Amino acid sequence: MIRFAIIGAGRIGQVHARAVAAHPEAELVLVYDAFEAPAKALAEAYGVRHTLDIDEVYGAGDVDAVIIGSPTAMHVEHILGSVRGGKRVMCEKPVALELDEATRCVDELGDEAGRVMLGFNRRFDPSFAEIHARVADGEIGQLQQLTVTSRDPQGPPAEYVAGSGGIFKDMTIHDFDTVRFFLGDIVEVSAFGTNADEAIKAAGDFDQAMIMLRNADGALATIVNSRTCSYGYDQRLEAFGSDGALSAENLTETSVRKASASQTQAQGPVLNFFLQRYEAAYSRELGVFIDAVNNDAEVSPNVVDGVEALRLAQAATQSAREGRTVRL
């Protein structure tokens, strides 16, 4: 039985608390938040204790592993503190908003970096993971082109945008990790950002983007992003290889299709957002982390993958702002 503390009692902390409670080998024992109300509410929901003192988490003798869902600005501090306290760590993406800070985190972690898991949950999505495994098995020959479509159902409020680090670090970072998951290290990035949303534009960020990437072997990827999507959370992937292609389609709540005078084959909207769409991914992600803790093993993706995704986000930002291809 692995005993967990959760740092950050917000929406994502609640998701992880539920996953921990449901896992037969996991047990929640402690909740930390900088504010009393959410810490207490989450702790009481699971009948465990809470604290406002982060050092209590680092030093807790009855905590084996920590899940970090605090604001991004605190991630590096919480990672380093937890690791120094002898805890295994799973941290939400991104590692940090600035590449320098993320790099510093990895440097300070040293050999421990490979053991700090980063919450790129899409790697654990059953469909994406299946495609990855089948590509790795050589089922479509040499992987040549990757197409990632990733559109959120609704844009964030402008105030969120201001502190988000921009669309590439906040939203595309998941897709950058997906590209790295399939293509490995990237050597060239070109990005176009644009605005359909005036409020986000006024906040100085893009709300739509397209990005092209190339790896050292010359394989290409394209990412299509939008902060809004009328028909739900549009999350698709196509891997094209020399011997075939594998694609993951969107998910709908049921398999019902309708035919009427105006149309046929109509399905419902796609699952609305990440908690629904990636529910299975969150659960599998925790399972992989727990296995690694049980086996005292390194994890993938880890904080180094977080740094590399952030490097791509920074390159994309630069490319879109300066109108040029960025070489890494």
Residues 48-87 contacting a copy of itself, CB under 8 A: none
Q: Which residue lies nearer to a copy of itself by CB, 55 or 130?
A: 130
Q: Which residue lies nearer to a copy of itself by CB, 111 or 256?
A: 256
119, 38, 125: which is closest to 78 by C-alpha? 119
Binding to a copy of itself by residue 1, rule CB under 8 A? Answer: no
Query: By CB under 8 A, what part of segment 159-198 binds a copy of itself?
Result: 188, 190, 192, 194-196
Q: Which residue lies nearer to a copy of itself by CB, 114 or 269?
A: 269
Binding to a copy of itself by residue 214, rule CB under 8 A? Answer: yes
Pick one of 61, 111, 263, 296: the residue that binds a copy of itself (CB under 8 A): 263
> 233: which 2 tokens?
């959370």
CB 189 within 8 A of CB 315: yes
User: What's the sign of the alpha-carbon dihedral 24, 26, 28, 32?
Assistant: negative
Geometric angle at alpha carbon 131, from 249 and 153, rounded to 5°: 35
Angle, helices 126-136 vs 172-183, to 10°: value is 20
Q: From the CB of 126, what's the least distance to a copy of itself, in Å?
A: 5
Binding to a copy of itself by residue 262, rule CB under 8 A? Answer: yes
Q: Which residue lies nearer to a copy of itself by CB, 22 or 202?
A: 22
Q: Is 108 exposed, middle or buried (0-12, 13-18, 19+ CB in 10 A)?
A: middle
DSSP 131-153: HHHHHHTTTTSSEEEEEEEEE-S
Pick one of 269, 287, 288, 298: the residue that binds a copy of itself (CB under 8 A): 269
Query: By CB under 8 A, what part of segment 129-148 binds a copy of itself?
Result: 130-131, 134, 139-142, 144-145, 147
Q: Which residue lies nearer to a copy of itself by CB, 240 or 298?
A: 240
> 64: which 2 tokens?
């084996």
Query: By CB under 8 A, what part of segment 12-41 binds a copy of itself?
Result: 22
Binding to a copy of itself by residue 228, rule CB under 8 A? Answer: yes
DSSP at 72: G
Angle, helices 172-183 vs 303-322, to 10°: value is 110
Pick one of 44, 55, 249, 291: the residue that binds a copy of itself (CB under 8 A): 249
146: left (phi over 0), alpha (psi -120 to 50) or beta: beta
290, 313, 320: which is closest to 97 by C-alpha? 313
Q: Which span (25-33, 123-131, 159-167, 297-305) binds a copy of itself, by CB under 8 A?
A: 123-131
Q: From the CB of 225, what's the least distance to a copy of itself, in Å?
A: 9
Pick one of 51, 103, 222, 300: the residue that binds a copy of itself (CB under 8 A): 222
Q: Which residue lies nearer to a copy of itself by CB, 62 or 249?
A: 249
